[in-house]
Chains A and B, each alone.
Chain A
Amino acid sequence: MFISLILIGLVSGVLLGLVLALMATGFNLALGVARVVNFQIGAMILWAMYGTFFAWSLLGLHPYLAIFIVAPSAFVLGYLMHRYLVIRSQSTAEDSQILFSLGLLIALQYLAQFCFSTDARSVVADNLQGALQFGPVIVQYTQLAAGAVALVVLAAMHYMLARTDLGRHLHACAQNPVGAQVSGLNVKNLSSVAMGISALCASVAGLALATLMPIYPERAFEYSVMAVVVSVLGGMGSMAGSVLGGLLVGVIISTCQAMGYGAMAQAIVYALVFITFLIRPTGLIKSKQV
């Protein structure tokens, strides 16, 4: 039974971890390129969850088809929010920027509460209600789909950052914004694009999470904290770090729950973050920017 529980924790943890990695990647991209401490990412995730819920319940769309509405909308919102709102805070002191970001998170959370009430809502797609069984390990279709979609988006992100002109431009902005500006890149626009992509990552994570758990406004803060914790643990500004951090946090949480020590999970994660800060302040994988 011990081995079975470990296996259950590992499988659930990896699938959850991929979604966490996507959140953290979005957070890191905003931090690395746009230099925005993107605490409002939790609110983007929350609004994407509501978007998915209403696309499913009102339009009758399968939650994963809602990605074609939710993700582009999130990109546009993230882009515009940076271009016309967040950018104004960047001329202020760093602590003001952080307060601004936190304020935005709280405002967007309360706006969701005002619009949708505090009731928990659930997306229950009929064809995602089954499960696969591998020996003692049972994996829900919703978990598999969430993990798979997160993996695909992470792979696309990696490809975009490593192999495309846009990726190279984002790298340039992240490594030396002044140099990038001098060499003719529109850093301001690229920062907004980075924020748009960050929001897109958050929206896909939100869409996946909407199929896994009930949606209610207070989730926003929880997800922001989770994105920060995973980023800090994996390595601020590092995509590989985000993935490693996400998988690590996911496996710790799920394994603790499977083994009957769920209450310890958060303590272990935060202890790990604390120890990482002490012995390796850059996180588990040092950033090469983005």
Chain B
Amino acid sequence: MTQTKRSVGLSPSQDGSSVTSPRRRSLMAAGLGAAAFSGFPAIVRAQANKIPVAVVVGLTGRASAWGVPVADAVKLCVDQINSSGGIKSKQGAQIELILADHQSNPQMAGTQTERVIQVSNALVVLGNATSGATVVGSAAAEKNKTAMLSTDAADTLTAKGLKYYFRIGPKASAMATTAVNFAMETAKATGVAPKKVATIADDSTFSQDAINGVLRDLKGTSWALHENVSVPAGSVSDFTPILQRLKLAGVDTIFQATFAPDGIQILRAMKTLNFDLTAWVHVLGAPYTPEFNAAVKRDGNFITDALGFVPELSRKNALLNKFSEAYRAKYGKDLDDQSSLGANSVAVLYDALERATSLDREAIAQAIRSTDLQPGANPFMIRDGVKFDSAGDNTRASGIVMQLRDEQQRIVYPASFATEKVVWPMPKWSAR
């Protein structure tokens, strides 16, 4: 493959508008011909007035619960950037957003990521929202030396030595650490310690990474780990046999990482079995999702969940509040974990495009690599700040723990963010 270092295409005229002279058109045609002859160039520069950026997420299928909020938030942010004059340091270049749907299919995530880079010339990819898809999509981005800004949390992604993968939020094992630290500190503060602990996780990459983080951190406690239950995601028709086994064994605390459908089923079986727990701590997973809350309603109360975002955070954060209002006004729904990560991704992109020495993939990736943003650094930096380590993890991403109370997500940990005192141990089912 031939690499071309020369800029190909349009350049701004002196008055800032983009024009194409006949000579340049000839050069461009020659350049494109050469590029076509030699295959796709590894470095493709954008037209000066358009910066193609792709969002490759699941817009249909199960993953759309994660993909659609990301796409919505990114669209809102990009609209705001473009309408406020685009990328100033690049003569007001507008971001051209390319939306691609991987249909909740990991293989399709790879194909679509490849397509938006090779065919649509995307200079940066935001994707792929869910772990299975991102494992494949990130490989395609890496192969094409194109930066991928990711809202996914699976540890696996930053453990592979990828150079062009950047995670915006906390990784699964970091949230697991938050979950276990919360449990340890709360047990110490209340004097009610778990006696026998079990973990439940589905077989998705994210859930396995999360629960492995929990298992690792539990070794630092004095609690007895009874069993690590692993189930195929969405395929267990009846959880009662599993839960009866745990109940008979005397398990009183469960750490869990499952998606909403399994989370709903497990909760309903727990209630039916009158399976009382001291604590039920989730790592991201089901409890924060609207579908979980719509299905379980009051039965979800007192469950705790380690995650990166709850709507309540906007009370203390004016910027977040402003963005939340704009998001609600445009889409008629609340900002959630994924959409807030989507906004933070655009914050990083916006900053990197302003700082990039040129509009080619390598320069933009390099600018992203050197990101150093504090919360509120630009209008889309609505969550934690961002500074990437060599693996592509955001060293400034942090986790919080919320507890469902009266069907609302209330922050209970850490103390600096807490808006409610945690209820620990959980009330017995018969006493609710």
A148-190 interface bits toward B, Cβ cutoff 8 Å, 1 = contact, 0 = none: 0000000000000000000000000000000000000000000
Binds A, one of B58-66, B400-408, B413-421: B58-66
Structural contact, A262 and B231, CB atoms closer than 8 A: yes
Residues in B whose Cβ lies below 8 Å from that of A121: 291, 294-295
B234: CB under 8 A from chain A?
yes
* Distance in angstroms between the alpha carbons of A26 and B269 in the assembled complex: 28
* Distance in angstroms between the alpha carbons of A33 and B62 in the assembled complex: 36
B238: CB under 8 A from chain A?
yes
Whole-angstrom distance between the Cβ of B220 and the nearest chain A Cβ? 25
A143: CB under 8 A from chain B?
yes
Interfacial residues of chain A within 214-273, with CB under 8 A of chain B in the complex: 214, 216, 218, 222, 253-255, 257-260, 262-263, 266
Structural contact, B244 and A258, CB atoms closer than 8 A: yes
Residues in B whose Cβ lies below 8 Å from that of A212: 237-238
Using a CB–CB distance below 8 Å, which chain A residues touch chain B?
1, 4-5, 8-9, 12, 16, 113, 117-122, 124, 129-131, 136-138, 140, 142-143, 209, 212-214, 216, 218, 222, 253-255, 257-260, 262-263, 266
Q: Given A138-B244, A258-B244, A262-B236, A113 and B273 touching (CB < 8 A)?
A: no
Residues in A whose Cβ lies below 8 Å from that of B230: 262-263
Q: Of the candidates B62, B236, B249, B265, which one forms a contact with A257 in the assembled complex, judged by CB atoms under 8 Å apart? A: B236
Q: Given A129-B271, A138-B273, A254-B241, A214 and B295 touching (CB < 8 A)?
A: yes
**Most A Cβ at <10 Å: residue of B203, B236, B268:** B268
- For A5, give the chain B residue with the smallest CB separation: B245
Structural contact, A253 and B265, CB atoms closer than 8 A: no
* Distance in angstroms between the alpha carbons of A265 and B62 in the assembled complex: 24
B248: CB under 8 A from chain A?
yes
Q: Given A16-B238, A218-B62, A260 and B229 touching (CB < 8 A)?
A: yes
A-B pairs with lowest CB-CB distance, top 10: A258-B241, A122-B295, A120-B261, A257-B241, A119-B291, A214-B261, A140-B272, A214-B264, A131-B272, A8-B244
- Interface size for chain B: under 10, 10 to 19, 20 to 34, or 35 or more residues? 35 or more
Interfacial residues of chain B within 289-306, with CB under 8 A of chain A in the complex: 290-291, 294-296
Residues in A whose Cβ lies below 8 Å from that of B65: 118-119
**Most B Cβ at <10 Å: residue of A9, A118, A216, A258:** A118
Using a CB–CB distance below 8 Å, which chain B residues touch chain A?
60-62, 64-65, 203, 227, 229-232, 234-242, 244-245, 248-249, 260-261, 264-265, 268-269, 271-274, 290-291, 294-296
Structural contact, B238 and A143, CB atoms closer than 8 A: yes
Q: Of the candidates A5, A216, A259, which one forms a contact with B62 in the assembled complex, judged by CB atoms under 8 Å apart? A: A216
Structural contact, B62 and A213, CB atoms closer than 8 A: no
Structural contact, B237 and A253, CB atoms closer than 8 A: yes
Q: Given A258-B245, A262-B236, A263-B232, A140 and B260 touching (CB < 8 A)?
A: no
Residues in A whose Cβ lies below 8 Å from that of B61: 113, 118, 218
Residues in A whose Cβ lies below 8 Å from that of B60: 113, 118
Residues in A whose Cβ lies below 8 Å from that of B234: 216, 218, 222
Residues in B whose Cβ lies below 8 Å from that of A1: 248-249
Structural contact, B242 and A12, CB atoms closer than 8 A: no
Whole-angstrom distance between the Cβ of A91 and the nearest chain B Cβ? 33
* Distance in angstroms between the alpha carbons of A212 and B295 in the assembled complex: 13
Residues in B whose Cβ lies below 8 Å from that of A138: 240, 244, 272-273
Structural contact, B64 and A8, CB atoms closer than 8 A: no
Residues in A whose Cβ lies below 8 Å from that of B239: 257
Residues in B whose Cβ lies below 8 Å from that of A113: 60-61
Residues in B whose Cβ lies below 8 Å from that of A260: 227, 229, 242, 245
Residues in A whose Cβ lies below 8 Å from that of B241: 5, 8-9, 12, 254-255, 257-258
Structural contact, A120 and B237, CB atoms closer than 8 A: no
* Distance in angstroms between the alpha carbons of A218 and B261 in the assembled complex: 11
* Distance in angstroms between the alpha carbons of A244 and B64 in the assembled complex: 39
Whole-angstrom distance between the Cβ of A106 and the nearest chain B Cβ? 12
Q: Given A12-B238, A257-B236, A257-B238, A4 and B261 touching (CB < 8 A)?
A: no
